[in-house]
A and B are shown apart, each in its own frame.
Chain A
């Protein structure tokens, strides 16, 4: 391939021509997506606000909560926070890191969708052939996303004020800093997305590079917070948001470096865009082999090959999560032993470990869901067509994926359980925990199979709904598991959700009810297969 970055910088003229038109197009085109983002982030924060208002009704309870927050594990996961003994601070502690990581990574994807993905599928080309400037599309997509984050920040602040999260006598400064800190990480994600979109040669690489950069910033602040010297936290852009610390220090000025960095990232993105060829990035695709390995020539082997990167990535993630959970386990006990948090279904170290294993299950289910929803995205892309025309049966197509999905789930559960056992065992001086928790974690396998079975069922019967409904179900499960007690839903209904109905080993004993999920999985997969046998492809 020829050089894609020109050596002589000639800036095109009227680079923003058509911006107004494209910006309106972007807003219209993404309206639903924007509304979903606003609803998810603001609802999440407001929900925790309402929940904590009722849970921490005395200062004593807040003080207790703050005491747990300063343990190593919590600090590692959510940061060193000085305002935990206030109601706003407690909410911030619980939800801030989770929501801003979601928002930051989400904004990388949002930028890619409008920028690199449209360039890849040729839509941008159509616009560029009209009187539209070279930056008009990227500028519109970036402006839309920046605006979205600002709205989310403002609504966060307003809902915090409405819920009276500010301690009496402090005004509403804390609420505004809260909103600002959420918007800040969103903006950062937009900047990072703008840049990785220019560097990479494909949408998926732009997304993964952007997500990795955000996770690196997250880990930087983690190392900073854990040590005696928090320089690394102050160097991490995620740390800037964290250090705003509403209701304690109210360091609103930290928005300044965030804005400077975001602006710089976007500026660099524009400079690169003006100098690179349409459709190419700075980082080149490597050449590969001209022969397929024997493994890839089997249909399950091909799936394994295509998802190899994801399986390795999720394995590393689950090991890190397991190690963190183990170190947290001991330190968190003091809180839960006293206040008997309902989420825990009891008290004591076993109950806590049961809850943490359940979280390992909740993380492990994402990968097989991704693998199974791949059936639908492959169908939409036209990939299933060539395979079916090549002599794979429709049943095999589903079963091979289901087997790879189930095997990778089992791998993640065992790795997660074992690493949890390793770090907990190191503290508790009991290395038998490694094997024990690895086996215990597998109790979630039948439940996860039932959930992935639902994906197969959707794919066979209502293919168009497969992807949105799958992720809606995941979101609902997450919510219900975190907040089940606050929802006032009868227990037998809750038990349908595998992460609630599965016995919380080691606290609860293994019982045969998990085989119910296995049976459900078999029924769902069979129905999905019958559905696919009898429908048109593509549909």
Chain B
């Protein structure tokens, strides 16, 4: 049984549809990278998973239960870091961590201490004096110091510096080793590439792509650049080759993956003296879904 299973999820705010048939799956012990531009429905999906919002259609299961009806029992097994962290202004960071953690049964003090040190957080300062990054650290420390089975993180590193991001990556890898699961919504491709076992990309409330990074790469073109001694004009019209450009001996193009063997054979015959083949980055994958016909990028 999967930790999270969402099928054909729908949610409307008044007449405005926010989710229009979203699918999502988090398996036990896995990190799911949840990608989508602003306003595509990531936070709405997460709030439905937390039983804060009620879905308008589709099936949704969290640890096999109903997140709306069984919210309280299910929440004992998970921790959540919201995208926009709100804290009680009068409490100190340390107090907030304890208050939040006590809701799910409390923290082991030495884990709290280790995490506050790891994230370089001063827990004696009043919450209202924290910057956005430090507010986020408070919520992160409370989440990462817990032993919850599932972590739901909504853009958890958007306000953190690179050092803290590295600390975060460390923690998630450790959590993965312990067999716990993570739903990681993020805009930082390198972080998702490093951490995620599977990736779900959504657009306007619908899942457009889902699978492991390797599977997703299959669906997209590989970038090839090559230096050829012989005339390469024959390649220009070769099946599976796109965006062909030539500058003297320097040839570059993108390539459908299924055409790879035939094209490589052809190249070999043209006396190559240099060849680089780059698999598509996650960023390319992501952008390819948001590129409109004229090549500009937009969320719509």
Contacts and interface: CB of A to CB of B under 8 A. Distances in A.
A297 B99 contact: yes
Contacts of B50: 385, 388-389
Contacts of A130: none
B242 interface: no
Nearest to B83: A382
B84 interface: yes
A490 interface: no
Interface in A356-404: 381-383, 385-393
Contacts of A470: none
A285 interface: yes
A342 B97 CA distance: 56
A110 to B, nearest CB: 21
Interface string B84-102: 1111111111111111101
5 contacts: A297-B106, A386-B86, A388-B71, A536-B47, A537-B53
A215 B144 CA distance: 47
Given A386-B86, A389-B50, A291 B71 contact: no
A292 B95 CA distance: 4
A287 B125 contact: yes
Contact of A291 (B54, B78, B95, B126): B95
Given A289-B95, A382-B85, A536-B54, 12 more contacts: A202-B128, A290-B93, A290-B116, A290-B124, A291-B95, A292-B91, A299-B103, A386-B82, A387-B103, A388-B71, A390-B80, A391-B72
Contacts of A388: 50-52, 71, 75
A392 B95 contact: no
A393 B51 CA distance: 11
Given A291-B98, A297-B102, A297-B106, A385 B92 contact: no
Interface residues of A, number: 36
Nearest to A539: B53
Nearest to A390: B103
B76 interface: yes
Interface residues of B, number: 44
A219 B100 CA distance: 42
B80 A382 contact: no
B288 interface: no
Interface of B: 47, 50-54, 71-72, 75-76, 78-80, 82, 84-100, 102-104, 106, 116, 123-126, 128-129, 139, 152
A289 B92 contact: yes
B90 A296 contact: no
A385 B82 contact: yes
Contacts of A248: none
A302 interface: yes
A392 B103 contact: yes
A288 interface: yes
A120 B129 CA distance: 10
B124 A381 contact: no
A220 B84 CA distance: 46
A292 B129 contact: no
A427 interface: no
A382 B85 CA distance: 8
Nearest to B13: A536
B92 A389 contact: no
Contact of A393 (B71, B102, B116): B71
